[in-house]
């Protein structure tokens, strides 16, 4: 596991928390920020997965 995978998964989790919190309290801005952060974390984790796959090939 590389640092991009770890950082990406952490960002995904933080984004999900913001998204759910925004939904629960009715704050659309927080919900959207959470979605964006979650998506960015997902892309970073995917990049880390790709690097790991290339390394192991």
Give the number of other CB atoms < 10 A from CB of residue 49: 15
Separation of alpha carbons 54 and 39, rounded Å:
23
Q: Each residue of 14-30: pLDDT tens digit?
A: 999 999 999 999 999 99
Q: What is the pLDDT of residue 23?
A: 98
**Strand stretches in the chain, DSSP E:** none
Query: In a structure prediction context, what are the per-residue pLDDT tens digits for the chain, which is 57 residues long?
Result: 999 999 999 999 999 999 999 999 999 999 999 999 999 999 999 999 999 999 998
Q: What is the pLDDT of residue 41?
A: 98
Q: What is the pLDDT of residue 8?
A: 98
């Amino acid at each position: 596991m590389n640092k991009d995978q770890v950082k990406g998964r952490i960002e995904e989790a933080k984004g999900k928390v913001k998204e759910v919190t925004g939904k629960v309290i009715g704050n659309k801005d927080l919900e959207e920020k959470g979605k964006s952060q979650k998506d960015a974390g997902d892309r970073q984790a995917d990049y880390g997965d790709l690097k790991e796959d290339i390394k192991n090939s």
